[in-house]
Amino acid sequence: MAKRPQKRQKSQTNVQELVIVAFAEDMEQAKDYKTLLQANDIPSIIKEQTEDSTEAHGFAVMVPEDSLDEAHVVIESQDAYDDFYDVAIEEDDDDSFDSDLFGDDL
């Protein structure tokens, strides 16, 4: 009886190449990006980055390559939302309001 060649079946798990979607200066910001992406059903990981020659240090937020465009949109939308409220809060904190306007001169 002749041996049949064994078929090597490829695992159904498709290992996707990860790409950097955002770069954070600290772990807190990287975790915020990761949480945001996960809330939008985009898998992500955080990878610490160190560049010895420039002493740069930070955290890369990485997603599967096929989710890159969607991840960019999610992050950019959140950044625009944050920027809008930062401006609104700065305007509320403006000390140029004249408190004498409502004085007791009645």
Q: Where are the domains of the chain?
A: 18-91
pLDDT tens digits for range 13-63: 345 799 999 999 999 999 999 999 999 999 999 999 877 655 668 999 999
pTM, to two decimals: 0.61
pLDDT at 100 over 60: no
Render the burial of 7-46: b for 16+ CB within 10 Å, e for the rest: eeeeeeeeeeebeebbebeeeeebebbbebbeebebebeb
CATH fold of 18-91, please?
A: Alpha-Beta Plaits (3.30.70)
